Amino acid sequence: MNITVAGEKKEVKDGLTVAELIVNENVEMPDYVTVSLNDEFVEAGTFADVALKEGDSVEFLYFMGGGSR
């Protein structure tokens, strides 16, 4: 099946989960990544349960904290 990952079209196996995609894509700091699936956030505790579908669009996001003086 075909999905889009970070703006790049990819062919992946049917039924691939978000958790499997994180591993396949060698996502840095997987414990801290936020996943957007079709512009909706996926709860971290459900990555292994959320199966991707044909045409899905996935983005990996990291929220950086900071401050000012």
- Residue 56 in any domain: the answer is yes
Q: What is the mean pLDDT of each run of 10 residues along the chain (69 residues)?
A: 97 97 94 96 96 98 73
Give a yes or no: residue 66 inside a domain.
no
Residue 67 lies in a domain: no
> pTM value?
0.88
Q: What is the pLDDT of residue 69?
A: 64
Q: Which domain holds residue 15?
A: 2-61
Which residues have a Cβ under 8 Å from the Cβ of 9 and sit 6 or more positions away?
2, 3
pLDDT given at position 66: 67
List of long-range contacts for 62-65, beta carbons under 8 Å, 24+ apart: 62/29, 62/32, 62/33, 62/34, 63/34
For residues 43 and 13, what is the distance between their CA atoms, to the nearest angstrom? 22
* Residue 51 located in a structural domain: yes
Per the domain annotation, does 68 fall within a domain?
Answer: no
d(CA 53, CA 62): 23
Tell me how far apart the terminal alpha carbons of the chain are, to the nearest angstrom: 49
Do the domain assignments include residue 69?
A: no
Is residue 11 a part of any domain in this protein? Answer: yes
Give the domain CATH number at 45: 3.10.20.30
